[in-house]
């Protein structure tokens, strides 16, 4: 009886615990002062270290962050920059959460303005962290933007956005920011009348002579005969180097982002690396409303590398990116040496992904033949250590199987997440909408994919290019709207593309399994809808396909194309009158597919 009473008392006390409020102004931060709040805010964050639970409160206003007093640290971040592009990975972090627990950062509608190049926040070895009710922007965004006013074959007149700082030096326009200059130009054009982002070029402008003819108005004289644009279009220009990311989450768990507006980000966006249980609700990667800007991220919106647990993306919006809004994947590492019966030397193969420890003791790894992507075994890691920036020495608990060879790859299958993406909108990207390769359950539902430049959804897996792993085994794509996607990837502009890079397929082996695409709306201007290869168990059911006049259709191609697949079912779909519903099969027999549409070879 006494023991039961003690337990009840403990429960009462537990439910009665209230998070301690920490006001950043008590540490010296002042809203709307334009003063550097970095040091004061960091002190407020650090003060929560030994508290059971705390809330970092920001009275609503503008807070400015400069790199001078920011935490400087070194991070190797997946898919960011190569050793040649950025040999020293030294970055400044505006808000650093290092080894912290049970903290909520509440911006109360504030705007955080960062100066120079900074990672807005980093969560490192932390857990139970919530960031909510804030906007992130940069005093000088990394993206430069200008609106085309007049264009001929010999000149272009453009209006420069006020945020895009520039200087004309000896007849050449140079883009610059706070302690940085754009040196390696990449350009994407927004065709305003079609609301579509297409690839473009800064090259003719580099070769032209620029002159300022009015405030923020520049005339470029040169050869523009091959430059495709119309008055009103917006040309967006950035550096190709991904030397920073918008925010970084590393080896952390139970992370929640709520009502967060990422209005501008340098580089790769919100990156999570070896994190567990991520819940993003009402995260908006888009330019600030009324700013006149069209791009929010120089690359991806959200990037997840080697995560696990549950990733949930709900009520989010992605508008204005130079790369994919969402990418979820692991990493294949190549075996370059069999050191002993239980030890392997592995190498990061893509130049922009390296330097981070890909395994810890107890992780399970899968052996994969790189050419076929065939998984042929698995083992548990005893130890792992970096022996150089690109090489890893891993020791396994048991001796290697006889068929393990140099050139095969390993994937960490302990760190593979379940993924739910729902009630979100993807638009104004020149690339794909969503990339996903994870063996856990994937649900993509009730979203709108609007005029993504390439495939709305790409399921790949490769051990030859980006080395982004791995297989999918349970994917449901339902109740989404796919509207006029794929204009940058013709002729293979399938709305959904299941395309593992198994260059030498293994007989009878299928890379991907159990993919259901049902009750979606496809509004298409061209013919291709779905491509799949090396997939066992693919269902395309009860979808509606409508015709759009958004752009002229390209030459006639099959609506469905399948290569080396089996157990394919196409049934119950509603096509617009006169729709071309051809199915193309490659390395398949008719018994591999059930459909009332007659396949053609």
| Region 423-433 average pLDDT | 98
| Region 432-450 average pLDDT | 98
| Region 228-253 average pLDDT | 96
Cα within 13 Å of Cα(55), Cβ side: 13
Q: What is the pLDDT of residue 13?
A: 39
**Under a CB-based contact definition with an 8 Å cutoff, are residues 248 and 188 in contact?**
no
How high is the mean pLDDT of the chain?
95
Helix (H, G, I), strand (E, B) or coil at 547: strand
Structural domains in the chain? 20-75+93-136+245-326 (2.160.20.10), 144-239 (no CATH), 331-412 (2.40.30.10), 416-600 (no CATH)
Phi, psi dihedral angles at 14 (to 5 degrees): -65, -45
3-state secondary structure 431-462: CCCEEECCCCCEEEECCEEECCCCCCEEECCC
Q: What is the pLDDT of residue 599?
A: 61
Q: What is the pLDDT of residue 6?
A: 46
pLDDT of 15 over the 60 cut: no
Q: What is the pLDDT of residue 520?
A: 98
pTM here? 0.95
Q: What is the pLDDT of residue 1?
A: 43
Question: How many angstroms separate the CA atoms of 117 and 561, rounded?
Answer: 45
Cα separations (Å) of 570 from 224, 554, 583? 48, 24, 10
Question: How many angstroms separate the CA atoms of 236 and 148, rounded?
Answer: 11
DSSP 415: S
Q: What is the pLDDT of residue 376?
A: 96
Return the C-alpha torsion angle 293, 298, 300, 301, nearest 10.
Answer: -30
pLDDT digits (tens, 9 = 90+) for 486-543: 999 999 999 999 999 999 999 999 999 999 999 999 999 999 999 999 999 999 999 9
Q: What is the pLDDT of residue 17?
A: 59
pLDDT digits (tens, 9 = 90+) for 304-338: 999 999 999 999 999 999 999 999 999 999 999 99
Cα separations (Å) of 27 from 37, 60, 123, 247? 9, 16, 21, 23
pLDDT of 3 over the 90 cut: no
Q: What is the pLDDT of residue 598?
A: 63
Confidence band for 552, pLDDT divided at 50, 70 and 90: very high
562 contact partners, CB below 8 Å, separation of at least 6:
531, 532, 533, 535, 538, 568, 583, 584, 585, 586, 588, 592, 593
pLDDT digits (tens, 9 = 90+) for 39-96: 999 999 999 998 999 999 999 999 999 999 999 999 999 999 999 998 999 999 999 9
Q: What is the pLDDT of residue 600?
A: 55
pLDDT of 460 over the 50 cut: yes
Q: What is the pLDDT of residue 12?
A: 40
| Region 233-254 average pLDDT | 96
The pair of structure tokens assigned to 222 is 């040169």
């Amino acid at each position: 009886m006494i023991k039961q009473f003690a337990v009840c008392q403990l429960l009462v006390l537990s439910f009665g615990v209230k998070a301690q409020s920490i006001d950043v102004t008590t540490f010296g931060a002042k809203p709307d002062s334009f003063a550097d709040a970095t040091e004061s805010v960091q002190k407020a964050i650090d003060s929560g270290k030994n508290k059971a639970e705390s809330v970092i409160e920001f009275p609503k206003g503008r807070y400015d962050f400069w790199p001078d007093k920011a935490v400087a640290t070194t991070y190797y971040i997946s898919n960011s920059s190569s050793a040649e592009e950025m040999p020293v990975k030294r970055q400044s972090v505006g808000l650093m959460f290092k080894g912290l627990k049970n903290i909520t950062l509440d911006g109360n509608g504030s705007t955080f303005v960062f100066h120079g190049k900074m990672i807005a926040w980093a969560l490192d070895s932390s857990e139970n962290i919530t960031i909510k009710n804030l906007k992130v922007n940069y005093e000088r965004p990394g993206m430069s933007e200008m609106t085309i006013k007049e264009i001929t074959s010999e000149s272009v007149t453009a209006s420069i956005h006020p945020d895009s700082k520039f200087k004309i030096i000896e007849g050449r326009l140079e883009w610059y920011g706070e302690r940085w200059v754009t040196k390696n130009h990449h350009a994407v054009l927004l065709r305003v009348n079609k609301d579509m982002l297409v690839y473009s070029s800064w090259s003719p402008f580099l070769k032209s002579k620029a002159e300022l003819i009015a405030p923020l108005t520049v005339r470029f004289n040169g050869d523009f005969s091959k430059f495709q644009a119309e008055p009103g279009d917006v040309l967006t220009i950035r550096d190709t180097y991904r030397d920073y990311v918008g925010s970084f989450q590393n080896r952390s768990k139970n992370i929640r982002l709520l009502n967060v507006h990422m209005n501008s980000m340098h580089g790769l966006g919100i990156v999570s690396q070896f994190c567990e249980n991520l819940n993003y609700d009402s995260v908006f990667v888009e330019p600030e409303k009324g700013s006149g800007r069209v791009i929010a991220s120089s690359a991806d919106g959200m990037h997840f590398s080697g995560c696990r647990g549950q990733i949930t993306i709900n009520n989010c919006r992605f508008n204005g990116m130079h790369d994919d809004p969402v990418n979820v994947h692991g990493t294949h590492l190549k075996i370059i040496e069999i050191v002993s019966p239980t030890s392997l030397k592995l190498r990061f193969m893509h130049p922009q992904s390296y330097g981070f420890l890909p395994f810890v003791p107890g992780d399970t790894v899968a052996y994969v033949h790189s050419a076929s992507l065939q998984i042929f075994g698995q083992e548990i890691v005893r130890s792992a250590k970096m022996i150089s920036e690109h090489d890893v020495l891993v020791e396994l608990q048991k001796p290697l199987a006889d068929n393990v060879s140099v050139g095969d790859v390993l994937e960490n299958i302990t760190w593979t997440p379940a993924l739910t993406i729902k009630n979100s909108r993807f638009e104004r990207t020149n690339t794909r909408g969503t990339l996903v390769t994870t063996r856990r359950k994937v649900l993509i539902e009730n979203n709108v994919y609007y005029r993504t430049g390439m495939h709305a959804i790409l399921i790949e897996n490769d051990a030859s290019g980006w080395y982004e792993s791995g297989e999918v085994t349970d994917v449901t794509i339902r109740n989404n709207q796919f509207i006029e996607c794929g204009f940058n990837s013709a002729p293979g502009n399938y709305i959904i593309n299941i395309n593992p890079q198994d260059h030498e397929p293994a007989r009878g082996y299928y890379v991907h399994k159990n993919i259901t695409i049902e009750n979606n709306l496809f509004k298409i201007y061209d013919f291709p809808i779905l491509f799949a290869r090396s997939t066992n168990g693919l269902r395309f059911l009860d979808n509606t396909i409508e015709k759009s006049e958004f752009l002229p259709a390209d030459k006639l191609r099959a609506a469905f194309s399948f290569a080396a697949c089996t157990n394919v079912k196409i049934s119950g779909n509603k096509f617009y009158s006169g729709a071309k519903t051809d199915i193309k099969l490659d390395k398949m027999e008719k018994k591999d597919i059930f459909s009332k549409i007659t396949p053609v070879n």
